[in-house]
Structure 1
Amino acid sequence: MATKRADVRPIIRMVSTAGTSFTYVTRKNRRNDPDRLVLRKYDPVVRRHVEFKESR
């Protein structure tokens, strides 16, 4: 069984750039996206779509 450290699809936390500290939790493929992930998703605190960046 794969260890969490060498996992190809680690669990990451996406933090809102709107400053609301709202987060999404998702998985990403390290082989396809080795850099930090940035996605545009809905932030219910400000009630609009904003960029979410991967935090470590």
Structure 2
Amino acid sequence: MARSTTRPVVKLRSTAGTSVTYVTRKNRLNDPDRLVLRKYDPKAGGHVLFREER
């Protein structure tokens, strides 16, 4: 099965300064900008913003 170029794998890194990362896919056609999601950071003990890194 071929990988789609419209849904690349991106790494989300915590903005809380911890080294926690999430790996997900995003649709480039719907979200051309960098992805920012509010996810749980176990080291910070709560929900923080996670930004896409390239």
TM-score (norm 1): 0.89
d(CA) in 1 for partners of 2:32, 2:18: 26
Segments of 5+ residues of structure 2 without an aligned counterpart are none
d(CA) in 1 for partners of 2:44, 2:35: 21
Segments of 5+ residues of structure 1 without an aligned counterpart are none
- Runs of 4+ aligned residues of structure 1 deviating over 6 Å after TM superposition are none
Identity %: 67
Q: Aligned AA for 1:26? A: T
Deviations 1:1-28 (A, max 9, x none): 75x6x70000000000000010000000
Please give the secondary structure, in 2, of the residue aligned with 1:36.
coil
d(CA) in 2 for partners of 1:21, 1:51: 13
1:27 counterpart residue number: 25
What is the total number of aligned residue pairs between the two structures? 54
d(CA) in 2 for partners of 1:48, 1:31: 31
